Amino acid sequence: MLKRTLLGVSLASLMAASAWGAEVKIGFVTTLTTPAAVIGKDMQDAVNLAVEHMGGKMGDLDINVIFEDDGFKPEIGKQKTDKLVKQDDVTFVTGFIWSHVLLASRKSALDGGKFLISSNAGPSQLAGKLCHENFFSTSWQNDQTPMAMGEVLNQQGVNSIYVMAPNYAAGKNMVAGVKRTFKGEIKGTDFTKWGKDAQLDFSAELAKAKASGAEGIFVFYPGKAGGAFIKQYQQQGLQGKVPLYSVFTVDAIALPKLQAAKFEGVLGSRMTQFWDPTLDNPQNKKFVDGFKAKYGKYPSFYAAQSYDTMYLIKSAVEAVNGDLSNMDGMRAAMKKANFPSVRGEFTYGNNHMPVQNFYLREVVKDGDGTWTTKVVKTVFENHQDVYAKDCPMK
Amino acid sequence: MSDTPLNGATPRSSGLLSGWTATTWATAICLVLLAVVPPVSFYAGQPFHVDLATRLVCLSIAAVSLNLILGYGGMVSFGHAAFIGIGAYSVGIPAYHATYGEFDLIASYNGWFHIALALVVSAIFAAITGAISLRTRGVYFIMITMAFGQMVFFLFVSMETYGGDDGLTIDVRSELPLIDLDKPLQLYFLCYGSLLGALFIVHRMVNSRFGMAIQGAKGNELRMQSIGYNTYVYRLVAYIISGAMCGYAGFLLGNFTTFISPEMMDWTRSGELMFMVILGGAATLVGPILGAVAFILLEEILSGFTIYWHLPFGVLLILCVLFARGGLMGFVSQWGRRNG
Amino acid sequence: MDWTLLLIQMLNGLQLGVLLFLLASGLTLVFGIMDFVNLAHGSFYMVGAFVCASLTFFTGNFLIGVILAIPVVALVGVITEKIVVQQLYARDHLDHVLATFGLILCFDTLVHMIWGAQGIAVPLPKWLDGQVELFGGIVFPTFRLLIIGTGLTIAFGLYYLVNHTRLGMLIRAGASNRTMVSALGVDIQLLFSLVFALGAVLAGLAGMLISPITEASIGMGNEIIITAFVVIIVGGIGSMKGAFIAAMIIGLIDTLGRSFLDDMFKVFMSAPAAETSAPAVSAMLIYILMAAILAVRPQGLFPPKVR
């Protein structure tokens, strides 16, 4: 009885403590409606897993993550960011799948004096001229992954490629990236309509690619467009004739669907990435195993980045002993990238973009027959994006 | 069939000055609340509410402008969001060039210039598209106005310099004498004042000979023509005024959001504007404002509740069309009649 | 000019045109007879795709999936008509637009709740998944040819239905004078339900046919429905012939625009500018076409004779 009362008292005091604001508020802007919600869901799952792995605490503070849906629209993303900044008064605004949503929301978060952490989008502007002391990324700059792919193409002696990407900020960055390192000829470039009514039938573009006589096709189609593209690539008879080189197209979100529909053609296809579920480090093992156990599927790179975001924030909060008014202290802590990352060790450049390795990955069957990816080799070691030099920060 | 009035139940609001009916009371209460609530909540430490109110008032102006042709004139424009976009880009494009150079002719932060540009371009666009659209009737009119809206949408998508699909961030707001648009409350009261102005214009127009003519043409066009009105010209002028007013709403919205993208002219946005007008009560003075308030509050509340909020929202929309003819103002005037 | 490429792109355009026709024919039927504007017509396209995807996985065969999905979509159509649409016939077009706009939101969210956000990739049988070689060394995906074939067959079927059957006679009569048809003692309620279900099935079929190419996904009908509206407006509302011709024209313009516009733009623009602006301008083309046609012929190309 006494024990019970004591427990009750301590519980009550605990609740009082959290009512006093002993929590760290994190706003997470992602896409939870429209077909792109499948990405947002993966990120949300990873964040919830991270909170669970942290026991719901960062230092002494309770974690309070507020998820907001951007509806795949920059304008809505900005409205939600405004709400998080002004109404919820969060300390960290994070999430952001889409480069255009991040660009639209940037001013609201940074002018509001909050930390802005991208868990995916890496538009060139934010790495370069518009870099900011309170902006960090746990992903990559858009150009880096396709640059690694361009390097792979050179190594394999591919002489010409045809390029396709969606017509938005990241698509343009991806194309710029591959063109930067690829030494052969670009036979043609197609930008297709993007957004909630994205173009998903690529018949005209694939016919052009085939007619162009290019030796390979480079594509960037994140989310549901990726699966659609792969299928049409196969149906148009390009498989085995014009090899496909992709970035962010074949991922843990597309693969289960492709496996269910038995699109064997995707096995063996290769892409570049900063991370892979097979990377050998304790944090990654904890993450991948935990994710598979909890959600019964492989995590995507979106999930990996979101998981890292939470640990980055944790490192900052703990460095200042929970004093969330100490922005300088938290900034200095984050700059060190001193947290266990699923990608292994990395550092931050002057623009607060990760300087990290990029790997070539291949689609394979795992021990249970589930389709996933594995690392083939390392393409770049400690690679820094090219826009860092435009960033005035030291 | 399309001759039936949109809201048979609603009596024409008889004007602000002639006796205080329930409708007048509703008007007054609505306007007073809009004047009082935002500053109070701002000083009570809820600055986000001012944001919400500003967006609401901007969209109210757009809805009021649409009501002029849709409610009073019977012209169902399904492309009105294009004018908002034109107005917003009238701020964004000059400000972009003033910041990043090139195109010195229009590079400017001057608010008067932005307003003039918004009004003139919207009016010209309305004149051209109206001249073509008004040759058609019924569903053809609905669809051709939508087509023109989509054209503007894709035009801005194709303009790579101004961000295309990604949109454009407005780094510096319009500069106007006396008021500083970077201050939320000052911006809000500019919008609020503009809304009063828009209501005044619509009120005066509707009760003028001109207004009688377009309302008459909505009811029975042949009769109006046979008593010597050139209904085509009357409709066109109303369409142009409405377009310019909506462009001005876009100017305000652009200054408020400081981020503009083609998304704001998507056909679904035009649909939302139409819904605001109908929800509040077409062909009533403040109906569109009530509609916009209800619409945005509903959206804000439901979307905070569940990610499946579109379902109850859609059901409400259908129910509203099926059962709430005359919209919210219809309820108000019915209530007024029952209670004397 | 690369003639093989041009021919392939024309086939692609034809395939898009056929899909548009399947959607537009239902729209124009419903509009012609019930004077009803249905923005939610694209939702049947989406529902068709999802139902067919589920049934394909359940039965293991795409074609069986399609055959079983058709009555399901018809049922969804009838239910929608009974619950919502019927209340709206007596209203004006504005009410139709708003209520069916609400229906779109409901359908999209319901599909999200039932099938999840991720969408479904639909597998094809092996014999449909490859390519065939046509004349002159043109290689074309088998399944896209099947779409073209199915679409043209249905177009002929509809032509026969409308012109040579009793139902067709009522449809034609209804399109030109509705009150007269009901005065003749025809069960107008039943006719309306039938026609609405037929329209839903045609749209659903279009969704089923496209799902193995793209995939079944939420909101997939919202973009194409606007294009389908452009088709019936250009063709003249209520005219089946107009819908067919306009669908073909618009399918071709859209596809050829996407294929060749950027090369044309490169003549007078820098390559990057051309590459990014061409897709948007090609999307504008169909609206420009529509505005131009309505400016000259406010009733579309083939307005039904009596209204």
Look at residue A17 and tell me whether its pLDDT is greater than 50.
no
Which DSSP category does A322 fall into?
T
Residue C86 lies in a domain: yes
C220 interaction partners in chain A (CB closer than 8 Å): 200
pLDDT tens digits, one per residue of C96-119:
999 999 999 999 999 999 998 888
Rounded CA gap, B82 and A270, in Å? 43
Residue C47 lies in a domain: yes
Number of separate domains in chain C: 1
pLDDT tens digits, one per residue of B154-177:
899 888 888 888 889 898 999 999
- Average pLDDT, whole number, for chain C? 89
Decide if A2-140+279-355 and A144-273 have a common fold: yes
* Mean pLDDT computed over C6-24: 94
The answer to whether the CB atoms of C290 and B137 lie below 8 A apart is no
B48 interaction partners in chain A (CB closer than 8 Å): 82-83, 86-87
* Mean pLDDT computed over A351-363: 95
Please provide the CATH number assigned to the domain covering A144-273: 3.40.50.2300
Range of the domain at C194: 11-217
Q: Angle of helix B22-43 relative to helix B287-305, nearest 10 degrees?
A: 50
pLDDT tens digits, one per residue of A54-98:
999 999 999 999 999 998 888 899 999 999 999 999 999 999 999
Residue C271 lies in a domain: no
Q: What is the pLDDT of residue A90?
A: 96
Quickly state the pLDDT bin for A196 (edges 50, 70, 90). low
More confident residue, A239 or B117: B117
Quickly state the pLDDT bin for B3 (edges 50, 70, 90). very low
Q: What is the pLDDT of residue B303?
A: 85
Q: Which of A167, A196, A227 sits opposite C219 (nearest CB)?
A: A196
Nearest CA in chain A to C280: A193
Question: Which CATH number fits the domain A2-140+279-355, given the four candidates 1.10.10.60, 3.40.50.620, 3.30.70.270, 3.40.50.2300?
Answer: 3.40.50.2300
Q: What is the pLDDT of residue A69?
A: 94
Residues forming a β-bridge with A365: A371
The answer to whether the CB atoms of A107 and B169 lie below 8 A apart is yes
* Mean pLDDT computed over A235-248: 88
pLDDT tens digits, one per residue of A23-41:
999 999 999 988 889 899 9
pLDDT tens digits, one per residue of C143-192:
999 999 999 999 999 999 988 998 888 877 776 676 777 777 777 888 88
Residue C278 lies in a domain: no
Residue to mutate among B155, B317, B319, with most C CBs inside 10 A, is: B317
Quickly state the pLDDT bin for C223 (edges 50, 70, 90). confident
ipTM above 0.90, yes or no: no
Q: What is the pLDDT of residue A263?
A: 84
Q: Does C86 touch chain B (CB under 8 A)?
A: no
Residue showing tokens 């692609």: C12
Q: Does C275 touch chain B (CB under 8 A)?
A: no
Residue type, C84: V
The answer to whether the CB atoms of A78 and B166 lie below 8 A apart is no
Quickly state the pLDDT bin for B19 (edges 50, 70, 90). low
The answer to whether the CB atoms of A197 and C57 lie below 8 A apart is no
C2 interaction partners in chain A (CB closer than 8 Å): 211
Contacts of C27 (CB under 8 A, 6+ apart): C38, C41, C199, C228, C229, C232, C243
Q: What is the pLDDT of residue B7?
A: 41
Residues forming a β-bridge with A94: A28, A117
Q: Which of B154, B274, B315 sits opposite C283 (nearest CB)?
A: B154
* Mean pLDDT computed over C244-253: 95
Residue C39 lies in a domain: yes
- DSSP string over C191-248: HHHHHHHHHHHHHHHHHHHHTTTS-B-TTHHHHHHHHHHHHHHHH-TT-HHHHHHHHH
- Average pLDDT, whole number, for chain A? 90
Domain boundaries, chain A: 2-140+279-355, 144-273
pLDDT tens digits, one per residue of C198-213:
999 999 999 999 999 9
* Mean pLDDT computed over B283-310: 90
- Average pLDDT, whole number, for chain B? 88
Look at residue B16 and tell me whether its pLDDT is greater than 70.
no
Q: How many CB pairs under 8 A join B and C?
A: 145
B150 interaction partners in chain C (CB closer than 8 Å): 226, 284, 287
Q: What is the pLDDT of residue C1?
A: 53
Q: Which tokens sit at C76?
A: 């969804």
